[in-house]
Amino acid sequence: MLKEKINNVSTEFGEDILNAKNLKQIEDIRIKYLSRNGLVAKLFDELKNVSKEDKPSLGKSLNTLRNEITGKFNSVKSKLESSSKENDNKFDLSLPGTAKIIGSKHLLTQTLDEIKSIFKGMGFSVFEGPELESDYNNFEALNFPADHPARDMQDTYFINQDFVLRTHTSPVQIRVMNKYKPPVRAIMPGRVYRNEAVSSRSYCMFHQVEGLYVDTDVTFAELKGTLVSFARQFYGEDLNYRFRPSFFPFTEPSAEMDITCYLCHGKGCKVCKQTGWLEVLGCGMVDPNVFDYVNYDSDKYTGYAFGMGIERTAMLKYGITDIRVFFENDLRFLKQF
């Protein structure tokens, strides 16, 4: 009788444990078989009713049954527990993600990228040079002799008697011409320095991009055509322009290029100081003296050069009125572009 019951419990447990799929079901099985009033305990109770002869073998069978049930139960339970922990750690793909803050290019870099791309489209390559420059490259070779009054316009930081923080990117023109023979068609962007009081209109450091084209028979008409094409691509197709005579030591003749004010469209406003015009860049035909410094034959070659401040260009294009905002790294400003 008891022997049969032992076999039945063993079979029943085998089926139950196979069907246990979660921790709730495994707890039900524990209560059913292994608790104080469970089936296994009840079988042990019945042991006292069997005959003396049968007791040892039945007792042994019961112990075996209890060990088998306990062993199997524990192994299934621990498997279910670990897989339920894995489930807890799995990603919930329906949850919103953690937003990453994505940076963007500084407005000055964006402006320079746009300028570069326009000039590259017209066949210009890009050259860069050092910010710490020799006095010779920064002034002398650009036709600013040591006693030239134009040096006063570009006061800078002298490292010693021979080296300065460059006041313009023009020394890169000297470097390019020293390295390459004509034809040369290049733009030179970079950071420059001036010893100036910081205000909304001037800063001790800013950026320029200059351009140079040297070949046989380069004319002022080509200079105008190139710059007007640039201005229309950069500021807008419908602008008017004018060239005013000006002076730079390294170009002759020299000019400033103005475009119609983007705010008042030429009527006159505060930004253009009621003139209707905005000055966007300086330019001119390369002075033959400069060609002599770089051993270009000034009887054979002519060329033009131009330069603009990148801060000023961005300020004109985006209506920014204080140059200092470019260098304050205030995210409220930077995020607008």
Residues that bind Zn ion (CB under 5 A): 261, 263-264, 269, 271-272
CB of 263 to Zn ion, least distance (A): 5
Which of residues 271 and 325 has its CB atom nearest to Zn ion in the complex?
271
Residue 237: HSE in the Cβ half-sphere, 13 Å Cα cutoff: 0
How many other C-beta atoms can be found within 10 angstroms of the C-beta atom of residue 299? 8
Of 177 and 272, nearer to Zn ion (C-beta) is: 272
Residues 6+ apart with CB under 8 A from 232: 239
Write down the least CB distance from residue 230 to Zn ion, Å: 21
CB 312 within 8 A of CB 284: no
* Residue whose CB is less far from Zn ion, 165 or 231: 231
Closest CA to 230 of 314, 120, 304: 120
Compute the least distance from the CB of residue 168 to Zn ion, in Å: 27
Peptide bond into 56 cis (omega under 30): no
To Zn ion, the closest distance from the beta carbon of 272 in angstroms equals 3
How near is the Cβ of 149 to Zn ion at its closest, in Å? 32
Report the nearest approach of Zn ion to the CB of residue 279 (Å).
12
42 vs 65: CA distance, rounded Å: 13
Q: Which is nearer to Zn ion, 272 or 308 (CB)?
A: 272
- C-beta closer to Zn ion: residue 135 or 258: 258
> Judged by CB, which is closer to Zn ion: 223, or 272?
272
Residue with Cβ nearer Zn ion (42 or 242): 242
State residue 40 phi and psi, 5-degree precision: -65, -45
Shortest distance, position 240 Cβ to Zn ion, whole Å: 12
Find out whether 306 and 250 touch, Cβ atoms under 8 Å.
Answer: no
CA separation, residue 157 to residues 160, 310, 319 (Å): 9, 21, 30
Question: Given the complex with Zn ion, which of 62 and 257 has the nearer CB atom?
Answer: 257
Min separation Cβ 336 and Zn ion, Å:
22
State the residue number with the nearest CB to Zn ion.
Answer: 261
Pairwise CA distance, residues 170 & 290, whole Å:
11
Which residue, 181 or 244, has its beta carbon nearer to Zn ion? 244
Question: In angstroms, what CA-CA distances link 172 with 102, 166, 267, 286, 325?
Answer: 34, 10, 39, 14, 27
Instruction: Say how many C-beta atoms besides its own lie within 10 A of residue 13's C-beta.
Output: 21
CB of 114 to Zn ion, least distance (A): 22
The greatest distance separating any two alpha carbons of the chain, rounded to the nearest whole angstrom, comes to 133
* 90: CB partners within 8 A, 6+ apart: none
Residues for the chain: how many in total? 337
Distance CA 281, CA 279 (A): 6
